[in-house]
Amino acid sequence: MAALPMVLAVASAGIGAVGAIQQGRQASAAAQSEANMAEYNAKMADIQARQTYAAAGEQEDLQRKRARAAIGNQLASSAEAGAGLNGDLLRQSIYDSETDALSIRYDGALKAQGLSDSASISRSNASVSRDRAKQATTGGYLNAAGSILNAGTAYYKGSK
């Protein structure tokens, strides 16, 4: 008769240990999946940041081309009308066009920086998730050991 309680204790410990390990593995897999998604999001944000910065550069160049054309038209119109060159108007036009071009560059840089910051946050989240995955695996094994230890302790106390 003494063998039956021992068999039950061992079976209980085994089932508890397997369950604890399985839970740890499932939690680890979920955390690793979160880490993978965060890494993917970081890569996508990095790509978007580069594209945003490049697009801002193209828009800046386009703005400068348009401004040169507009200033050229102003000069041509002024000369055609016989009004001569108005230095103040020319300086203001050049200043305004350069301010517009730099504003485009600045806005693009701000958007790109925001995307880069988002990528950094995603990489940080991935790191936390990977740590959580390792902890879940370790926790599963520790819980399994605890289950076995508890069953052994319960059996030992019951056999006295």
* CA 69 remoteness from chain centre: 42
Q: What does the pLDDT read at residue 1?
A: 46
pLDDT higher than threshold 60 for residue 64: yes
Q: What is the pLDDT of residues 128-158, one digit of tens each?
A: 999 999 999 998 888 888 888 877 777 677 6
**126, exposed or middle or buried, with CB in 10 Å at 0-12, 13-18, 19+?**
buried
Q: What is the pTM of this model?
A: 0.71
- Give the other-Cβ count within 10 Å of 122's Cβ: 20
pLDDT higher than threshold 90 for residue 118: yes
- Give the other-Cβ count within 10 Å of 160's Cβ: 4
When pLDDT is averaged across residues 28-43 and rounded to a whole number, the result is: 94
Q: What does the pLDDT read at residue 2?
A: 61
Query: Average pLDDT, whole number, for the chain?
Result: 88
CA distance 158 to 154: 6
Q: What does the pLDDT read at residue 144?
A: 85
When pLDDT is averaged across residues 29-33 and rounded to a whole number, the result is: 93
Q: Which two tokens stand for residue 54?
A: 């490049």
Q: What does the pLDDT read at residue 90?
A: 87
When pLDDT is averaged across residues 95-107 and rounded to a whole number, the result is: 96
Q: What does the pLDDT read at residue 53?
A: 95
Q: What does the pLDDT read at residue 82?
A: 81
pLDDT band at 79 (very low <50, low <70, confident <90, very high): confident
How much of the chain, in percent, has pLDDT values that exceed 70?
Answer: 94
CA distance 17 to 95: 75
CA distance 132 to 32: 8
